[in-house]
Amino acid sequence: MVESKAKSMAKSMAKLSWRERLLELFTGRTPGSSATVSVAVVLLGFLVGTFLILAVGRNPADMYFSMIQVVSGWYIRWDAAAGAFVTRFNLRYIGDWIVISLPLILCGLSMAFAARAGLFNIGAEGQYIAGLTAAQFAALYFPPIPGLHWILALCAALAAGALWGGIVGFLKARYSVSEVVATIMMNYIALYASRFFTMRIPGTNTYQTPPFPDTARLRDPFLSAITNGSRLNYGVYITLAALFFFWIVMGKTRLGYALRATGFNKEAARYGGISVKSGITAAMAISGAFAGLAGAIVSLGSFSAGRVLAAQDGYGFDGIAVALVGNSSAWGTALSGLLFGMLKSAQPLMQSRQLPKEITAIIMGLVVVFISLRAGLKILIDKQMKEAAQAAQKGDAE
C-alpha cells in the first residue's frame, strides 16, 4: 500500500512543471523536502554572507577557514610572503565549539517539543534563567557530596525549568491564555527574580556569587584533557540523554502520540479521547525542563561561580531559530544547534582575521528568514488552492 502511494505520488509529480515541482518541494509536500529545504536555506545564507564579505573588501576564504578551524581544530592561513599555507592543529577549538552548541541544542529541543504539540514556546529564555538560578542555589547550598552534588543541582534546574514552563501550559489549558504573551512576560519575571534572589546570597557582589564547590561543577578531566584543556564537560552526556529522551517520547510513546495528535488538530484529538488540557500542560513543562537543563549546563559547566544576570543570555531565543532550521525533530535540532554553535564560535576567529564578526549573525538571521518564507509561502498556496476549489465548486453548482 505504501509502495502504491509512493508510485502515485511520483506519477503526479511527473505531470507538474518545474515551477510547480519547486513549490511542492519548498512547501514540504514531498517526502524528504523538509531536510532538503533546511540544507538549501543554510547554503543560501552562506552565499549571501560571502557576497557581503566581498562587498566590504575582504576575502571570504578567511570566513570559511575560521569555520574549518572551529570544527576540525586546524588553523589555516595563506602566507603571501612565503607563498604557502601556514597550518597549526589544536583540539581545544572543537571542545569549545561543542560547549557553545550544547545550550543551543537544549533550548532548540525546548522549542521543538512544544512545536510538535502545536504550541509556540517563546519562553525558553525565561525557563533557561529559572534553571540556571536553581542550579546556582543548589550548587551553593546543597551538601557538597562528590558525585551527587552536581546531579542534585541538575535535578533542581530541571524542576525549575519545568515549573516555569508548566505555569504557562496551565494558563493556556485552563484559561486559554496565549502562550506567546505569557512566555514573553515570564522571561522578564525570571530575569529580575533571578537578580533579586541571587543578590541576597551572602558574599555576592554586583556580578557574581562566591565560588562553587568543586563537587557541584560539571568538569570532566578526561574530556578536557583530550581536547587540550577546553571547557568540554559532562554536559555532553546530558545533552545526548535529552536528545534520546525527545526522540523516544515523541516518536515511541503514547504521550508523544497524544501530543502530536494535539498539535495536528486539537478538536480531533479531543474527539479521539485525548486529554488536550493535560497534554498542553505536560508539553510546556517538558519544554521548560529542556531549557532548565541548558541553564544548569552553562552555569555549572562554563563558570566557577554563580552569575548575577544583568541581561538575558539569548540562548532561549537562539533556540527558536535552531528548532526552525532543525524542523522540530530531535536529530535535526542537534545538527542545527551544532551549526549555530559553529557560527558563534567562529566570531572571534573571524575578528582575528580582520573580518566583521557580525557576518555570522547576519547569516543566522538570513537562515531563519528563509525558513520563515517557506511557511508563509505554504499558507499563501493553501489559500489559493482553497479559493480555486471554492470557485470550481461554485461553477459546478451553476
* CA–CA gap between residue 127 and residue 161 (Å, rounded): 5
Amino acid residing at 250: M
Name residues of the chain where pLDDT drops below 70. Answer: 1-33, 375-378, 381-382, 384, 396-398
Q: Specify the pLDDT at position 79.
A: 77
Which residues fall within 8 angstroms of residue 127, CB to CB, at 6 or more apart? Answer: 110, 161, 164, 165, 190, 287, 288, 291, 292, 295, 316
Q: Specify the pLDDT at position 38.
A: 80
Q: Specify the pLDDT at position 81.
A: 75
Q: Specify the pLDDT at position 76.
A: 85
Q: List the grid coordinates of 293.
A: 537543563
Q: Specify the pLDDT at position 1.
A: 45
Supply φ then ψ for residue 283, to 5 degrees.
-60, -45
> Closest Cα partner for 315 from 92, 115, 137, 110?
110
* CA–CA gap between residue 123 and residue 180 (Å, rounded): 8
How many Cβ atoms sit within 10 Å of the Cβ of residue 98? 26
Q: List the grid coordinates of 47.
A: 552565499
Q: Specify the pLDDT at position 132.
A: 97
Q: What is the pTM of this model?
A: 0.89
